[in-house]
A and B are shown apart, each in its own frame.
Chain A
Amino acid sequence: MHRKNKNLTVFLFLLPALALFVGILIYPIVASVHHSLFEYRTFTDPGQYVGLQNYKDLFTPKYDFGRAVINALILAALSVFIQLPLSLGLALMLGKGIKGERFYLSVYFMPVLISAVVIGMLWEKIYNPIYGLITKAFEFFQWTGLPPEGLLGNKKTALLAVFIPTIWQYVGYHMLLMYAGVKGVSPELREAAMLDGATDGQINRYVIIPCIKPIIKVSIIFAITGSLKSYDLIKVFAKDAYNCSYKVPSLMLVRYAFHNAGGIASAIAVIMIVMCFAFAILINWLFKERNIYGRK
């Protein structure tokens, strides 16, 4: 085949994907970078060129973007260290083959399908300081120490209270990914280990988990980037509250984009993208290193 011809064919194969990708993903990023260097007090008028001033402003007390970034990182850490181990645990238990495996699997995945509005409202009711389940439980057991404004209203507990449902909703998603991995481990491997006298714990640790490492990597990337851009559920909790103690970058992005601070919003967008990229690359790199030195 002629080289020229081949290049053309490659291009044609890539054309639909490239058109979508460049038009809908790359172009807005370029636009965001450009906009972030201007004032954009109104949508049509770029206003003054301000250089990196928007980025500097973000970290002043007026915007307090640092807080939002830290919150997002906390959420990401909770995802990786609580959500994923929980998913992995469930996946391993189910993957071993127990009665009603399918049923459990189906139910565990269900919260992923339910809209954030329902999940958010439900958890608000659970946290409600007057009649919520948690308040009632404290009353029932005569525990003390629950703040009168409830877990969501108290500044010290609000962050955690909001992140718990966020994390809970997607446990089933990661579980399904990992369960698929566990089931994909060839039965011979498992049997061989069993014949050799390995316990369940050992099989999981030395056979299954190394085998599903690539899936765990994907899960970690999804969990972290998902945390950095999480919006829907947190918005349900934040309602119209300004200065809420659990603000995250996406919440600020949307607020400023639509309140005549286009430059600031674009700067937030650029920082979010950079963070997501950085984490994706970092995790890929971490797993690569391990594969080279850790296994064989």
Chain B
Amino acid sequence: MAGNNSFAYNSELYSVKRTNKFVKGLIYAGLIIWLLIDLFPLYYLFTFSLKSSAEITGTNVIGLPKEWMWSNYSRVFGLGKKVSGKRLFFANGGLEKCFSNSVLVAAATIVICLVAALMATYAITRIAWKGSKTLNSIFMLGITIPMHVALYPIYASFSKMGVLKSYSALIIPYAAFSLSMAIMVCTGFMNDIPKELDESACIDGCGLWGTFFYIIVPLMKPALATMGIYIFLQCWNEFMFASVFADEAHYTLPVFVSNLKGSNITDWGLVGAGLLLATFPMLIVYVFMSRRIQESFMVGAVKG
């Protein structure tokens, strides 16, 4: 308690500030202004999707629609490849098909990336070997590599291997580009598991594989959610690989939305409805899972 004196002094000096209602009010005002700024895009997106092209590009940009064009939505749902003039359910290029492609690609990317990251992190942090530090640094540099760099070289090799025009053509690059981030988060979590657990497992006769599957993996469960979200954020809105590597049967949502644009003339009402339909599923999931997502983020960030 030696420092008590100096702290007491400070406390007197600043005690007025601590209870200052004005500052508190300012804080709330700041928070609420920022809140409105962040909510505005949603309002805009919603009204945008219900207007005509003319209203969007000039006559009524920010206000509520003069005429509520619900037809924008029915038109978006009607898009997709037609067979003899009929639009079948799950037709290529349709909303539901692209959506399910997006979900499938994201899910597979998450699984592959998680497995690779877990295994690699285990080898780097729990097994002593020369060069593990260096390898970790190299993996970390991967975070900084821009995806665009890889487009052509990967296209050429995928073409030779015949993986183009399949889900793997998207899943593999997405998983690779999320890997560094996943390893980083994973390392943070794994460092928190006491080494003694490994050692006792070793004494009990578990090999490295046994320790990994029976000790580490079960304890890493909370980390998986965080990593999953990181990976999801990386691949859900990705456009460039999706547009170049996939064929129509494998188009994802960003490609669907971009295809709503015409080359010389664009029907913005249609684009708005498409954007909203592409964005909202994610927002709804977010609203219902936000607590879980934030929690895993929290653990992840603290550990990472």
- Direct A–B contact present (CB less than 8 angstroms): yes
Q: List residues of chain A with CB within 8 A of the CB of B297.
A: 176-177, 180
Task: Choose among B7, B38, B141, B179 the residue that contacts A172 (Cβ–Cβ < 8 A).
Answer: B38
Annotate A104-120 by CB proximity to B: 1 below 8 A, 0 otherwise: 11111111111111110
Most buried by A among B150, B233, B297, B299: B150
Q: Does A16 contact B (CB under 8 A)?
A: yes
Partner of B117 from A17, A24, A110, A168 at Cβ < 8 Å: A17
Name the CB-closest residue of A to B142.
A25
- Mask, A34-76, CB within 8 Å of B = 1, is 0000000001000000000000000000000000000000000
Q: Is the CB of A197 within 8 A of B8?
A: yes
Q: Say yes or no: is B22 at the interface (Cβ < 8 Å to chain A).
A: no
The answer to whether the Cβ of A23 comes within 8 Å of any Cβ in the partner chain is yes
Please give me the residue from chain B that is nearest to A211 by CB atom: B302
Report A197 CB to chain B, min CB distance, Å: 3
Complexed CA–CA distance, A228 and B123 (Å): 31
Contact of B7 among A113, A197, A279 (CB under 8 A): A197
B215 → A minimal CB distance (Å): 14
Least CB separation from B299: chain A residue: A180
Q: How far is the CB of B271 from chain A (nearest CB, A)?
A: 8
Q: Let me know if A232 and B239 touch, CB within 8 A.
A: yes
Other-chain residue from A112, A117, A178, A231 in contact with B257 (beta carbon distance below 8 A): A117
C-alpha gap A180/B176 in the complex (Å): 26
Chain B residue, CB-CB nearest to A269: B149
Which of A28, A107, A179 is most buried by chain B, counting CB atoms within 10 A of its CB? A28
Q: Pick from A77-85, A144-152, A270-278 the stretch touching chain B.
A: A270-278
Name the one of A32, A98, A176 contacting B149, with C-beta atoms under 8 angstroms. A32
CB distance from B64 to the nearest CB of A (A): 15
A177 touching B301 in the complex, CB below 8 Å, given contacts A106-B290, A272-B146: yes
In the bound complex, CA of A231 to CA of B241 (Å): 14
Residues of chain A in range 147-185 having any CB-CB distance to chain B below 8 Å: 168, 172, 176-181, 183-184
B237 located at the interface, meaning its Cβ lies under 8 Å from any Cβ of chain A in the complex:
yes
Residues of A within 8 A of B30 (CB): 93
- In the assembled complex, the CB of B199 is this many whole angstroms from the nearest CB of chain A, namely 13
Enumerate chain B residues within 8 angstroms of A114, measured Cβ to Cβ. 41-42, 45, 279
By a CB distance below 8 angstroms, the chain B residues around A183 are 298, 302
Q: Report if A122 contacts B (CB, 8 A).
A: yes
Q: Which of B144, B147, B172 contacts A280 (CB 8 A)?
A: B144
Q: Indicate whether A107 sits within 8 Å of B7 (C-beta atoms), given known contacts A257-B152, A269-B146, A273-B144.
A: no
- Using Cβ atoms and an 8 Å threshold, which residues of chain B touch A260? none
B122 to chain A: closest CB distance in Å? 6
Select one of B4, B48, B116 contacting A16, CB under 8 A: B116
| B149 engages A180 (CB within 8 Å) | no
Interface string of B205-219 (1 = CB under 8 A from A): 001110010000000
List chain B residues, Cβ under 8 A from A200.
Answer: 17-18
- A102/B290 contact (C-beta < 8 A), A20-B116, A108-B35, A199-B17 known: yes
**By the criterion CB–CB under 8 Å, are B139 and A17 in contact?**
yes
B108-127 vs A, Cβ < 8 Å mask (1 yes, 0 no): 00001001110110111001
Q: Chain B, 55-99, contact with A by CB distance < 8 Å: what is the 0/1 string?
A: 000100110000000000000000000000000000000000000
Contact with B along A200-228 (1 / 0, CB 8 A): 11100000000000010010011001001
Q: Check if A254 is an interface residue, CB within 8 A of chain B.
A: yes
The CB with the most chain B CB atoms within 10 A, among A102, A111, A279, is that of: A111
Q: Which of A24, A179, A184, A254 is in CB contact (< 8 Å) with B177? A: A24
Query: What is the distance, in angstroms, from B263's C-beta to the closest C-beta of chain A?
Result: 11
Residues of B participating in the A interface, judged by any CB pair closer than 8 Å: 3-4, 7-8, 10-12, 14-15, 17-18, 27-28, 30-31, 34-35, 37-42, 44-45, 48, 58, 61-62, 112, 115-117, 119-120, 122-124, 127, 129, 135, 139-154, 157, 172-173, 175-177, 179-180, 183-184, 207-209, 212, 233, 237, 239-240, 254, 257-258, 275, 278-279, 282-283, 286-287, 290-291, 294, 297-302, 304
User: Please, could you name 6 A-B residue pairs with CB atoms under 8 Å apart, sorted by A?
Assistant: A14-B124, A25-B142, A28-B154, A184-B302, A198-B10, A269-B148
7 cross-chain pairs, A with B, having the tightest CB-CB distances, nearest first = A197-B11, A180-B298, A24-B176, A276-B144, A17-B120, A13-B123, A184-B302
